[in-house]
């Protein structure tokens, strides 16, 4: 699939924002003054907001984006939109309320966290629900999205805690390590699935031909590249993909993991790690699109499975 | 829950429908042009039209984009830069026409043949040929010589017609339809409609073609033949049918010259000629009386074998016997030809068996009594339901004439021509060569200031009819009707430039061309032709072809090479006549003709070429184009269409003559064009039921043809399996008669001018080493593109914007190639670098590409980096107009030796993988043509055709009802 | 929970006869011609006269080869929206712009609502939706809804443009919900089938298989092995090596 920058930005940044806010609501960070409130809330809203905003960039008609909230009954994109709006509103109240009046009842916090994570889930489900892209259409897709959000969010919140001079316990670091480990374990399994899954669909089922032999594509319908080929036909070559997977894993997993394992609570270093991690996730997200094969490419003569 | 907006289900389509004739190709379908706000809203097929019956092809459907092309020329132009630079200045029509007059007048008054007038994809040869005749030059031809004259001439000389415009399968009754070497042909929509019908009826479709695409793809049997070998295959089929006695002897006896007696008198000047009586009637042996009688005698039953001794010396035997002895020869056995043609002997036998089965086990009978030309009455019409269609795949070879003849012989022995379920003629055919004029333009027929005595093109019957000088040298610039190409019929368009520059046979002063992209896709040796067009005489510094006048409608590659440009309109802006005098649109069951008329007004300073030609003719005071007082006789082409009479009562259009009530013959009718316009731009008259089959022998049809003005007297015709004209040339080569070929041409004439069809190795393949150039290279017509002129069309160029070379998978394996790789293709003449795609359904020795997709940079108002120029390519750079030199000093044309048909498909090549460091760009590339020359507008960056109407449509919508 | 209406009794659609299609592209261009000034925004084209010309089309014709070591058959293959009964393109649409008409099952885009997110095109397994490069709204076959009911058009012409223009009559239009309709009978007689049945979209359009026993290509070569060891890469490489550009 064509890796549109706006969508890659959107899913990475909003994912991080949602993950981060989950931990905020969980109570990881202690907001002591107005200054810290502005930073924490600002960080949250910037991440989520810029993600959402950039997602409208790839729309043909962003001015009508509001219409996207209407089809929550069937469309994951609609659901995600509505949830995002709800979550943003709720978070605003949450920040104001907790700052003013202190903690909210656990049940409310849990509900809010669920909503946030469900938003991430909805984002993932936009892709995971597409039968046409076999590698997306698996249970692990939302799991990965959620794991990236949670682990990234945790890393971000650790960083912010260190800026705020809050004590970061070693168990915090241990949780972080476990989360990073798990995230990449899922992601690696996802890649494994991508490499090994076999779609039921092939050119023979796509065309209904193949009664007496192989089917191959002979002529494209147009010699000039069309929307479908640009949008669905983009598949990064295996050899590049492997290189990029290694880069992504190194930046997003190994470096953060190793650095944290060695032990650091320097906010500068944590900031750098967060940035490197983000870069890794970015590559991961790019690959998520670039490696994905749309079933339509069968019609255009792609011989390998989708 | 979903919201359903209310949509406008009945939006307005158009203000008005104007019915005219399509010209996105030469098929000439009827179209309904929907006009809204004086613009084209939609073009659809005209359901009433005899040709397309409502359907429309891809090209026709893209007419909007062609009509509004930014590559349209906008005014007459005069060259200011060097030739080929594309630098012009706009001039007025008056200026343009007076320049042309100044150039042409002195020629006409001194030596009219110094004008060569050649037209391309033209449909008005009745006018252009007549103009050339009135000018007095023999140097006229249309593009037929490089297109498919083998097919046309092979057909006319054998059965009095050929495929496409000459006839059609009996789609409703045929049981088996065989296509030889057809990709699309001119009969685009009718063939497709017919194929649809056959498939609907579950009938067998067979394709003989090295490539399995298009029509071949839907065939029930595909024979992936090796190019140039169809003649062998056909003769083998004939042999099998003879040996298994699956031939229609009665049909052969009645309708062909099989029983005619041929003199066998080796070494004498009557050897191989028909035995004739005093009045010239061919003789046969009557089975009943045992006597020798005229074949035209009523009530006889001619003998098909036997031998009689002649008092005058030698013997006479029937054609049939010669044919039998010739074709049962084991040279033609399936086993012997199998490896040559690339088809197994079993399949060849199966092919023959299928033909026999369809012809003889599924006889079609129509209970329609009819009377033949001798007055014999027949109770029914009995048919052998095998039909065929063939085109350039067999025609565009140097053995094409004889192959086409062989194919007709195959049809004839099956008894399948002009019978129910078979293949049938469209009027004015059958029209034997004797009913056509002979070509005019012999040295004594060309006089300063005088018209020719007859039309420059026609059909020769013997060496006496050749257009040659006393010494036997060619009189025409293209060497048509000379010993180079004695039965050329359509001239040799592909030789004009090459010969004129070489001064062989002489130089000319003015080259006048119309609608032919000779500096690009319609030339062999494209680079060479561009050089020739700009070549100067070392002494005088003048161009070797001093003056070039050209009429085009668009900024094609050729425009840059002309000195004077006469811009034509688009097909929706002018009058045209698709005339019975020319190439009509008749059907097997009806006579028909058609017009084009200006459904839109030109928005620039252009004029219909035919009108311009008449204007020019009047300025030159050509007879027939001026009144006695010297004033122009015709206001414009429309005026000519209405008022010109070829013979009293016979004019360009056959419909609505007299007071609008006469067909065929009748006085000119001032309201004729209006009548056509209101009748869907065509006229159509059905042939009476009893006249619909056996037209060559059917008295009712012959009468009908005379009534309608096709003939002046009945011209019943016997099919010529054995061709006497060919034998006459043969005899000349053997040293008989006053007119004999030069010494160095005798062998070639002896071996190719056989009175019965034969097969011989195509010339290029014979001239090069098989080991060095083992592969055949071909082009095919893409259904969605018309030669070069489709590339300016933004819709069509998305479909065909570049062309790959398709190569068989086995060849790809051998050269370690896969899809997308680039290769070098080399012939004896040149090299091209091209991208490939692999293909399974392809003859293993053949590679092919789509024709004319490659464009020169800058032409057609396309960007210089357009894929057509960067990746697209022409095969033409590999094809030379001359054969490899034989060292005898003669420039041997790469053509059929009989008709001069350009042998495009004889091309032999080798391939090798391009170095990986080489650019992925086609080779050769040429300097870009300047884009600005004389065109209508800068091409837009985005197209939103119809935006104003979609908004209006929407205005009617109450789109939000939620 | 779905945004699809209950299956309609009338299921209008096309039946495409692969046994007859010669790949002439008439339906492709006529469709463009009719629709560029018809329903919704024009079917626009980008770079019409330069490199990478790229426009929106509602119907495209591919060509495939079916082959084994002895036989080979070229098949021309037209493809437009199949007006699926379980149309994923409708349910996925966040705005409700994509909808399936309850009355006749035609799947349409309400272009005034479309935000151009492209999701519906992603969800369509057949590549039947194309984003208009200039208008930025989703385009798809409308089954010529502005022809088939149009009072301004003679009754016999109230069929889709592609059907009316197809020179070989390889395209048939009708009600596939009615088992007695001409199209339903054709499907029954000729073994009409669904594309990608495993995608469970329940397409209304049906394809009629090539009928002829395929052409023997004997004594050429063993295509199968060759094709496999050669494994041609397909068109994208040919059409500009996209991957190379990416480095
Ligand atoms: N390699 C290879 N080359 C071939 C062939 C092949 O099979 N293989 N086929 C050959 C054959 S059969 C043919 S017929 C030729 C065809 O070749 P050409 O006759 O050159 O055909 P086109 O390129 O279609 O068009 C000729 C010119 O007509 C102009 N034109 C279009 N419409 C109009 C109009 O309305 N008025 C005027 N005045 N001009 C107009 C176009 O702009 C173009 O410049 O190509 C030949 N070349
Ligand atoms: N769409 C479209 N239609 C056109 C044209 C166009 O440019 N586009 N051009 C028009 C013109 S000018 C012409 S002349 C006609 C030509 O009409 P066609 O004769 O149909 O044209 P070609 O594409 O030259 O087709 C030649 C066919 O013969 C096959 N072939 C080549 N060599 C051999 C051989 O030795 N034996 C056999 N059996 N087959 C062989 C080729 O594979 C190809 O399929 O088309 C006309 N119609
Ligand atoms: S075949 Fe096509 S382009 Fe040719 S005249 Fe007919 S509709 Fe026009
Ligand atoms: S118009 Fe008919 S024959 Fe031509 S491509 Fe379309 S479906 Fe096939
Ligand atoms: S073919 Fe594609 S666009 Fe059409 S209804 Fe089915 S899923 Fe939707
Ligand atoms: S592109 Fe338009 S029609 Fe398609 S899903 Fe998005 S909003 Fe709906
Ligand atoms: S039904 Fe209409 S919109 Fe759909 S493909 Fe055919 S012509 Fe195009
Ligand atoms: Mo031609």
pLDDT (0 to 100) of residue B958:
47
Domain with C237, as residue range(s), is 222-247
Which among B364, B383, B385, B261 is positioned nearest to B316, based on CA atoms? B261
Residue ranges of the domains in chain B? 163-428, 576-688, 722-755, 763-913
Verify that C148 and C243 share a domain, yes or no: no
In chain A, what is the straight-line distance between the N-terminal and C-terminal CA atoms, in Å?
11
Separation CA C142–CA C36 (nearest Å): 12
Nearest-neighbour CA in chain A from C83: distance (Å): 16
Q: How many helices, marked H, and strands, marked E, lie in chain B?
A: 28, 35
pLDDT digits 0-9 by tens, B814-833? 999 999 999 999 999 999 99
Indicate if the pLDDT at residue C220 is higher than 60.
no
Verify that C26 and C95 share a domain, yes or no: yes
Q: Which atom of ligand 6 is nearest to the CA of C95?
A: 7
Verify that C192 and C115 share a domain, yes or no: yes
Question: Phi and psi of A77, rounded to 5°?
Answer: -65, -40
Who contacts C77 (Cβ-Cβ below 8 Å, separation ≥6)? A207, C18, C21, C23, C61, C62, C63, C64
User: Residue C79's CB: how many other CB atoms inside 10 A?
Assistant: 23
- Per the domain annotation, does A48 fall within a domain? yes
Give me the CATH number covering residue C182: 3.30.70.20
For residue B389, the surrounding DSSP H or E stretch is: strand B386-390
In this complex, do A221 and B1 lie within 8 Å of one another by their Cβ atoms? no
Q: Is C63 in the pocket of ligand 4 (CB under 6 A)?
A: no
Which CATH class for the B763-913 domain?
mainly beta
Verify that C38 and C136 share a domain, yes or no: yes
Verify that C130 and C240 share a domain, yes or no: no
Verify that C125 and C228 share a domain, yes or no: no
Architecture of the domain delimited by B163-428: 3-Layer(aba) Sandwich (3.40)
Q: Could you tell me which residue, C237 or B225, shows the higher pLDDT? A: B225
In this complex, do C232 and B215 lie within 8 Å of one another by their Cβ atoms? no
Residues in a beta bridge with B807: B838
Give me the CATH number covering residue A70: 1.20.1630.10
- Per the domain annotation, does A135 fall within a domain? yes
- Per the domain annotation, does C239 fall within a domain? yes
Please check whether residue B1 touches A, CB under 8 A. yes
In this complex, do B784 and C25 lie within 8 Å of one another by their Cβ atoms? yes
Counting ligand 6 atoms within 8 A of each CB, the residue from C130, C132, C138, C142 with the most, and so the one to mutate, is C138
According to DSSP, residue B719 is labeled B
- Per the domain annotation, does A305 fall within a domain? no
Separation CA B261–CA B274 (nearest Å): 6
B798 contact residues in A (CB cutoff 8 A)? 222-224, 226
Please state whether B587 falls in left (phi above 0), alpha (psi between -120 and 50) or beta: beta
- In this structure, the strands spanning B510-514 and B547-551 are parallel
Q: Is B786 in the pocket of ligand 2 (CB under 6 A)?
A: yes
C140 contact residues in A (CB cutoff 8 A)? none
Q: What is the pTM of this model?
A: 0.96
Please check whether residue B645 touches C, CB under 8 A. no
Please check whether residue A214 touches B, CB under 8 A. no
Separation CA B831–CA B825 (nearest Å): 6
On average, the pLDDT of chain B sits at 95
Which among B867, B23, B929 is positioned nearest to B519, based on CA atoms? B929
> To 5 degrees, how large is the angle CA A218–CA B164–CA B758?
90
Q: How many C-alpha atoms does C108 have within 13 Å on its Cβ side?
A: 28
Verify that C238 and C203 share a domain, yes or no: no
pLDDT (0 to 100) of residue C213:
59
Neighbours of chain A (3+ CB pairs under 8 A): B, C
Indicate if the pLDDT at residue C201 is higher than 90.
yes
Verify that C172 and C235 share a domain, yes or no: no
pLDDT (0 to 100) of residue C227:
47
- Per the domain annotation, does A110 fall within a domain? yes
Q: Domains in chain A: how many in total?
A: 1
- Per the domain annotation, does C83 fall within a domain? yes
Do the Cβ atoms of B578 and B655 come closer than 8 Å? no
- Per the domain annotation, does A306 fall within a domain? no
Which among B219, B206, B2 is positioned nearest to C94, based on CA atoms? B2
Which among A77, B1, A137 is positioned nearest to C198, based on CA atoms? A137
Q: Residues C78-88: what's their mean pLDDT? A: 97
Q: Domains in chain C: how many in total?
A: 2
Separation CA B643–CA B650 (nearest Å): 10
- Per the domain annotation, does A102 fall within a domain? yes
Verify that C61 and C98 share a domain, yes or no: yes
- Per the domain annotation, does A100 fall within a domain? yes
Q: Is C76 in the pocket of ligand 4 (CB under 6 A)?
A: yes
Indicate if the pLDDT at residue C234 is higher than 90.
no
Do the Cβ atoms of B402 and B191 come closer than 8 Å? no
Identify which of B798, B803, B840 has the shortest CB distance to residue A222.
Answer: B798
For residue C59, the surrounding DSSP H or E stretch is: strand C59-67
Nearest-neighbour CA in chain A from B821: distance (Å): 15
The pLDDT profile of chain A, 306 residues, written as one tens digit per residue, is 999 999 999 999 999 999 999 999 999 888 889 999 999 999 999 999 998 888 888 899 999 999 999 999 999 999 999 999 999 999 999 999 999 998 899 999 999 999 999 999 999 999 999 999 999 999 999 999 999 999 999 999 999 999 999 988 889 999 999 999 999 999 999 999 999 888 889 999 999 998 888 899 999 999 998 999 889 988 887 788 899 999 999 999 999 999 999 877 788 999 999 999 999 999 999 999 999 999 999 999 864 444
pLDDT digits 0-9 by tens, A117-173? 999 999 999 999 999 999 999 999 999 999 999 999 999 999 999 999 998 888 999
Task: Write out residues in chain B with pLDDT < 70, as ranges.
Answer: 1-2, 931-937, 955-962
């Amino acid at each position: 699939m064509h890796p549109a920058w706006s969508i890659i930005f959107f899913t990475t940044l909003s994912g991080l924002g949602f993950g981060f806010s989950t931990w905020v609501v969980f109570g990881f960070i202690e907001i002591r003054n107005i200054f810290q409130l502005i930073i924490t809330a600002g960080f949250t809203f910037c991440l989520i907001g810029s993600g959402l905003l950039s997602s409208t960039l790839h729309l043909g008609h962003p001015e009508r984006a509001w219409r996207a909230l209407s089809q929550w009954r069937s469309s994951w994109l609609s659901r995600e939109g509505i949830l995002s709006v709800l979550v943003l509103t709720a978070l605003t109240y949450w920040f104001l309320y907790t700052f003013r009046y202190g903690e909210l009842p656990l049940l409310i916090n849990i509900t809010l966290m669920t909503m946030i994570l469900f938003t991430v889930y909805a984002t993932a489900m936009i892709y995971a629900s597409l039968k046409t892209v076999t590698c997306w259409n698996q249970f692990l897709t939302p799991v990965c999205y959620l794991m990236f959000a949670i682990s990234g969010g945790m890393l971000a919140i650790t960083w912010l805690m260190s800026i705020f001079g809050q004590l970061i316990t070693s168990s915090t670091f241990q949780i972080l390590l476990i989360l990073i480990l798990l995230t990449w374990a899922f992601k690696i399994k996802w890649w494994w699935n991508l490499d090994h899954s076999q779609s039921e669909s092939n050119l023979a089922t796509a065309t209904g031909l193949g009664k007496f032999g192989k089917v191959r594509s002979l002529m494209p319908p147009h010699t000039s590249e069309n929307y479908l080929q640009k949008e669905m036909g983009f598949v990064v070559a295996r050899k590049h993909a492997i290189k990029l997977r290694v880069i992504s894993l190194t930046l997003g997993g190994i470096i953060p993991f190793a650095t944290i394992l060695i032990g650091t609570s320097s906010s500068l270093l944590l900031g750098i790690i967060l940035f490197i991690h983000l870069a890794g996730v970015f590559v991961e997200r790019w690959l998520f699109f670039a490696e994905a094969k749309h079933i339509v490419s069968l019609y255009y003569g792609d011989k390998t499975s989708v | 829950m979903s919201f359903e907006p209310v949509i406008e289900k009945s939006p307005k389509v158009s203000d008005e429908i104007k019915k005219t004739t399509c010209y996105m190709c030469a098929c000439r379908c009827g179209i309904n042009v929907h006009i809204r706000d004086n613009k084209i809203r939609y073009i659809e097929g005209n359901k009433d039209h005899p040709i397309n019956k409502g359907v429309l092809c891809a090209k026709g459907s893209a007419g909007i984009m062609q009509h509004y092309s930014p590559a349209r020329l906008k005014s007459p132009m005069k060259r200011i830069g060097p030739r080929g630079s594309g630098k012009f200045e706009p001039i007025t029509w008056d200026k343009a026409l007076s320049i042309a007059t100044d150039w042409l007048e002195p020629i006409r008054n001194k030596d009219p043949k110094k004008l060569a007038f050649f037209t391309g994809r033209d449909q008005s040869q009745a006018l252009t040929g007549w103009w050339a005749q009135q000018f007095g030059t023999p140097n006229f031809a249309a593009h037929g010589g490089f297109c498919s004259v083998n097919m046309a001439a092979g057909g006319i000389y054998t059965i009095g017609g050929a495929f496409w415009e000459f006839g059609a399968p009996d789609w409703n009754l045929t049981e088996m339809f065989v296509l030889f070497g057809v990709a699309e042909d001119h009969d685009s929509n009718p063939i497709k409609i017919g194929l649809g019908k056959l498939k609907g009826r579950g009938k067998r479709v067979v394709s003989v073609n090295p490539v399995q695409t298009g029509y071949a793809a839907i065939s029930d049997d595909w024979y992936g033949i090796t190019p140039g070998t169809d003649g062998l295959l056909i003769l083998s089929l004939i042999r099998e049918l003879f040996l298994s006695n699956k031939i229609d002897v009665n049909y052969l006896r009645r309708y062909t010259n099989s029983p005619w007696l041929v003199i066998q008198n080796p070494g004498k000047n009557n050897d191989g000629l028909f035995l004739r009586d005093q009045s010239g009637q061919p003789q046969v042996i009557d089975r009943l009386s045992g006597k020798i009688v005229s074949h035209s005698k009523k009530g006889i039953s001619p003998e098909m074998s036997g031998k009689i001794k002649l008092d005058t010396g030698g013997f006479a035997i029937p054609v049939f016997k010669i044919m039998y002895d010739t074709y049962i020869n084991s040279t033609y056995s399936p086993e012997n030809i199998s490896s040559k043609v690339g088809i197994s002997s079993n399949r060849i036998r199966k092919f023959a068996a299928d033909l026999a089965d369809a012809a003889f086990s599924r006889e079609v009978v129509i209970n329609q009594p009819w009377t033949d030309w001798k007055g014999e009455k027949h109770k029914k019409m009995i048919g052998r339901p095998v039909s065929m269609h063939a085109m350039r795949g067999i025609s565009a070879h140097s053995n094409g004439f004889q192959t086409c003849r062989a194919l007709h012989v195959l049809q004839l022995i099956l008894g399948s021509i002009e019978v129910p379920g078979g293949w049938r003629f469209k009027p004015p055919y059958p029209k034997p060569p004797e009913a056509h004029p002979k070509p005019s333009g012999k040295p004594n027929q060309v006089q300063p200031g005088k018209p020719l005595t007859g039309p420059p093109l026609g059909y020769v019957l013997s060496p006496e009819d050749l257009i040659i000088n006393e010494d036997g040298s060619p009189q025409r610039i293209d060497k048509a009707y000379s010993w180079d190409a004695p039965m050329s019929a359509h001239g040799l368009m592909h030789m004009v430039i090459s010969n004129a520059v070489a001064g062989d046979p002489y130089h000319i002063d003015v080259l006048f061309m119309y609608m032919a992209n000779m500096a690009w896709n319609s030339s062999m040796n494209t680079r060479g032709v561009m050089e020739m067009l700009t070549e100067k005489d070392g002494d005088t510094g003048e161009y070797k072809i001093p003056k070039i006048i050209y009429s085009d409608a668009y900024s094609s590659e050729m425009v840059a090479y002309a000195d004077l440009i006469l811009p034509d309109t688009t097909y929706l802006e002018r009058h045209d006549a698709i005339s019975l005098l020319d190439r009509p649109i008749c059907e097997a069951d009806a006579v028909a003709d058609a017009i084009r008329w200006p459904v839109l007004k030109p928005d620039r300073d252009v004029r219909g070429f035919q009108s311009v030609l008449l204007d020019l003719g009047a300025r030159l005071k050509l007879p027939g184009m001026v009144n006695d007082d010297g004033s122009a006789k015709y206001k414009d082409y429309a005026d000519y269409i209405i008022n010109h009479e070829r013979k009293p009562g016979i004019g360009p259009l056959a419909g609505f003559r007299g007071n609008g009530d006469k067909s065929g013959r009748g006085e000119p009718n001032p309201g004729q064009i209006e009548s056509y316009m209101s009748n869907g731009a065509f006229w159509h008259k059905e042939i009476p039921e009893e006249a619909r089959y056996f037209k060559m022998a059917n008295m009712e049809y012959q009468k009908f043809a005379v009534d309608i003005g096709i003939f002046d007297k009945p011209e019943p015709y016997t099919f010529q399996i054995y061709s006497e004209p060919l034998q006459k040339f043969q005899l000349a080569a053997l040293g008989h008669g006053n007119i004999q070929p030069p010494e160095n041409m005798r062998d070639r004439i002896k071996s190719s001018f056989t009175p019965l069809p034969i097969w011989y190795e195509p010339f290029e393949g014979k001239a090069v080493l098989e080991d060095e150039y083992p592969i055949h290279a071909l082009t095919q017509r893409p259904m969605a593109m018309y030669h070069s002129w489709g590339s300016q069309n933004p819709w069509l160029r998305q479909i065909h914007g570049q062309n790959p070379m398709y190569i068989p998978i086995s060849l790809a394996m051998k050269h370690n190639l896969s899809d997308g790789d680039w290769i070098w293709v080399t012939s004896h003449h040149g090299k091209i670098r091209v991208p490939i795609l692999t293909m399974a359904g392809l003859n293993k020795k053949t590679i092919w590409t789509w024709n004319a997709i490659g464009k020169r940079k800058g032409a057609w108002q396309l960007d210089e980096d357009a894929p057509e120029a960067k990746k697209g390519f022409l095969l033409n750079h590999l094809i030379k107009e001359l054969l490899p030199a034989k060292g005898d000093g003669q420039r041997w044309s790469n053509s059929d030796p009989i008709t001069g048909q350009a042998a495009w498909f004889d091309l032999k090549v080798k391939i090798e993988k391009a170095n990986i460091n080489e650019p992925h760009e086609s080779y050769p590339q040429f300097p870009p043509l300047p884009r600005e020359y004389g065109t209508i507008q800068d091409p837009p960056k985005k197209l939103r055709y119809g935006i104003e109407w979609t908004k209006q449509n929407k205005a009617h919508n109450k789109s939000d009802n939620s | 929970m779905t945004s699809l209406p209950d299956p309609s009794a009338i299921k209008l659609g096309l039946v495409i006869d692969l046994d007859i299609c010669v790949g002439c592209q008439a339906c492709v261009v006529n469709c463009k011609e009719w629709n560029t000034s018809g329903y919704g925004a024009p079917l626009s084209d980008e770079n019409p006269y330069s490199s990478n010309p790229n426009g929106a089309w509602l119907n495209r014709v591919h060509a495939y080869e079916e082959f084994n070591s002895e036989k080979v058959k070229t098949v021309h293959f037209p493809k437009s929206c199949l007006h699926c009964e379980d149309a994923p393109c409708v349910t996925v649409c966040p705005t409700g712009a994509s909808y399936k008409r309850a009355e006749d099952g035609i799947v349409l885009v309400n272009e005034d609502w479309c935000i151009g997110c492209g999701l519906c095109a992603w969800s369509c397994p057949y590549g039947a939706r194309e984003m208009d490069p200039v208008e930025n709204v989703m385009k798809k076959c409308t089954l010529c809804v502005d022809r088939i009911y149009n009072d301004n058009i003679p009754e016999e012409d109230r069929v889709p443009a592609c059907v009316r223009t197809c020179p070989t009559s390889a395209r048939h239009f009708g009600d596939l919900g009615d088992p007695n309709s001409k199209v339903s009978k054709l499907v029954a007689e000729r073994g009409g089938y669904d594309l990608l049945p495993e995608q469970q979209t329940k397409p209304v359009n049906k394809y009629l298989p090539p009928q002829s026993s395929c052409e023997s290509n004997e004594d050429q070569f063993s295509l199968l092995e060759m094709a496999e060891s050669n494994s041609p890469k397909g068109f994208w490489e040919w059409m500009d090596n996209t991957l190379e550009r990416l480095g």
